[in-house]
Structure 1
Amino acid sequence: MLVIRPITEADYPALMRCAEESGHGFTSLPVNEEMLRNRIAHSVESFGKEVTEPGTEGYLMVAEDTETGEVAGTTAIEAAIGLDNPFYTYHLSTVVHASRRLGVHNVVKVLTFGNNYTGNSELCTLFLRPEWRQGLNGRLLSKCRFLMMAEHRHRFSETVLAEMRGVSDDEGNSPFWHWLKEHFFSIDFTHADYLTGIGAKGFIADLMPKLPIYVSLLSPEAQAVIGQVHEKTRPALRLLEKEGFCCRGYVDIFDAGPTVECDVRNIESVRHSITCTVEIGEPNSGKDFIISNGSFDGFRAVVGKVKVDEENNIALITTEMAAALQVKNGDHVRLIEQ
């Protein structure tokens, strides 16, 4: 059984393994020891803080196999982005150039550089190691964050977003970045992506074109990937779309992958999650649920069969599940059916 829990200092080797396996374009998991250790330390501090509103906290978690102790993946939430480091995006919009006198009417797309998402919460760092990509593991890693948001609402903003990995090849070459590099930068996509991952974002403000870019002036290859996702990211995007997330024209400044967003109150797993009292036993029947405990610094989430008595608001769970969640009879849990 996989259990989601807050990361600890002892998880550094496992997090580095995830970073190495995640490949190019995974900005939030750079292969950099100092960066990863700092991120772990920041998460440990964030989970221990008492807060009344979202700030610079970052909540990083891992999925651990309860039998072997092996870490199968990682997932995270940033409480409010852009407060300590700028969060840049391009916004794709439409403008019209027309002249009645000349009988000319042209509708064109433009990309505008900005940081409109400052202060919003971000779903990030979702990575499941290949050998664990089966069953409901991916859903658990993604949806446990919605249970955390529903249970601890004051820690997160009203709008939640997620950056989707854009199109790049196995060597990390991005068609969109190739055009930007040719005209404004002189560094490779992988290097730019790495610098962003370790927080060295000053070069973006220094070199990125400030005026809107007409999409028609980009290379055909760059135009074709705007708003498109990497093939390995499609399952994650489909899951978020089912939760109510959609793209409102914002794309990544490096690979032009889409940013999707949703009001936290409208996220399906937040809206339809329920709270129950725990009863430990051996349910002879039940449905698949993702279930989390009511703790924050001791947050735990698992997926498995649960028998829910809706009339009495009771969730019957197994002894193994109770141990993984660190709950006992009478404790409060939150769950969502799968």
Structure 2
Amino acid sequence: MLFVRPGRLADLDALEQMARTAQPVLHSLPHDRRALEARIALSEDSFRADVDFPGEEFYLFVLEESESGKLMGTASIVAAAGYSDPFYAFRNDALIHASRELHVNRKIHALTMSHELTGKSRLAGYYIDPSLRGHAAAHLMSRARMMYIAANRKRFTPEVFSLLLGVTDDSGVSPFWEAVGRKFFGRDFKDIEIESGGRSRTFIAEVMPTYPVYVPLLPEAAQRVLGEPDSKALLAYDIHLEEGFETDRYIDIFDAGPVLTAQVDRSACVARNETRVVQQGNANAAGAMYLIAHNGADGEFRCVLGELSADRKAGASLPQAALSVLAVNEGDTVRCVPLHALHQHEQSGDAQ
């Protein structure tokens, strides 16, 4: 059975392999082993900490296959984006250029460097093994983060956001980067992706343009990809929409990928939440697919997918395998959120 749990130092080798092979680059997983080890240690401390408001905490989750112990994916939450350095994005503004004498009144779109997302909680570092493309586990890996947020509201801000991969070609070249970023950095997109550490490095403000970038002056290829997710991010995009995220006026400063935002109170994992009493049941019981999560002691968290009756009064009738990975017994309570059938079998990409 596939289940989501917090990452731990024992996962270092597997996570290092993901960090080095994942395409596109995972911002939340440094390639350097020592830096990655420190990131995992921070996550362990964050899960165990008694938190009253979001700060420098970082929460790393992994997708594990219970029988083999193999890790099949990872995803993370940054409690407050840009906690140490501002988090940068481009804000898509509409500027009015007008002249009464010439009878001209034009609305021109321009991209302005912004750090208004700084301090907000961010979903980051989503990766699912290519063998699970189109599998419901892709939804489990991504949305388990919102299940955790829903159960631990004090740890996160009322609004969360997620930055998705922008359009690149088969060689990893971004039309937007070639039109804008390369002019200022003089380096390849992938190199800066790795060094940026998730868009929170001071050198971004030092090098990127401080004045608005007028969209009509950009090459057509760059204009076409503004706010568009790459084909590899379409699955992640759909999962976010399923959760209740919406596109915003911000785009990524490097590849112009979309920034999606959601009010936690309006997210599916809060608005559709059901607390159910656990019962041991038939593994083949028919019903609708649900995300099922349990918060344990000392920062423990587990989330699985399972079929439950649509009648919440029926409780959560779970097979022994689910009881084991959730670390629950009959009579315990679990958080349950329906997973809409519309998106359960979509075929798409595998990274965010």
TM-score (norm 2): 0.91
Residue 230 (structure 1) aligns with: 230
Secondary structure in structure 2 of the residue aligned to 1:113: strand
Q: 1:316 to 1:214 in 2, by over 3 A?
A: same
Instruction: Call closer, same or farther: CA 1:200–1:34 in 2, change over 3 Å.
Output: farther
Q: Structure 2 vs 1, CA of residues 256 and 321 (structure 1 numbering), >3 Å: closer, same or farther?
A: same
- Per-residue CA shift, 1:285-324, capped at 9, x if unaligned? 3322110113261100111223465236x21111110001
Structure 1 vs Structure 2: percent identity of aligned residues?
Answer: 36
Q: Which moved more, 1:119-128 or 1:178-187?
A: 178-187
Q: Which amino acid aligns with 1:82?
A: G
Is the deviation greater in 282-291 or in 216-225?
282-291
Residues 219-248 of structure 1, C-alpha deviations (whole Å, 9 max, x = no match):
222212111111110111112123221122
Give the CA RMSD over aligned residues: 1.8
- Which structure 2 residue ranges, 5 or more long, are not aligned? 340-352
**What is the rounded CA distance, in whole Å, between the counterparts of 2:172 and 2:26 in structure 1?**
10
8 Å contact kept, 1:22–1:29:
no
CA contact (8 A) 1:309 1:315 kept: no
For the 8 Å contact 1:25–1:172, the answer to whether it is kept is: no
Q: Is this contact kept in 2: 1:60–1:77, CA < 8 A?
A: yes
Structure 2 contact 87–199 (Cα < 8 Å) conserved: no
Cα contact 1:35–1:198 (8 A) shared by 2:
no
1:263-302 to structure 2, matched below 5 A, reads 263-282=263-282, 284-295=285-296, 297-302=299-304
Q: CA deviation at 1:52?
A: 0.8
Would you say 1:325 and 2:326 are equivalent positions? yes
Q: Which moved more, 1:179-188 or 1:321-330?
A: 179-188
Give the paired residue count.
Answer: 337
Q: 1:276–1:334: 8 Å Cα contact kept in structure 2? A: yes
Give the Cα separation in 2 of the matches to 1:171 and 1:61.
Answer: 29
Change in CA separation of 1:140 and 1:222 when aligned onto 2, cut-off 3 Å: same
The correspondence of residues 94-133 of structure 1 with structure 2, limited to 5 A, is 94-133=94-133
Per-residue deviation, residues 266-289 of structure 1 (Å, max 9, x unmatched): 112221011111112326333221
Greater than 6 Å deviation, 4+ residue runs: none
Residues 221 and 30 of structure 1, relative CA distance in 2, 3 Å threshold: farther
Which residue matches 2:179? 179
Q: Secondary structure at the match of 1:253?
A: coil
Within a 5 Å distance, the mapping from 1:65-76 to structure 2 comes to 65-76=65-76
Which consecutive residues of structure 1, in runs of 5 or more, have no partner in the other structure? Answer: none
CA contact (8 A) 2:161 2:262 kept: yes
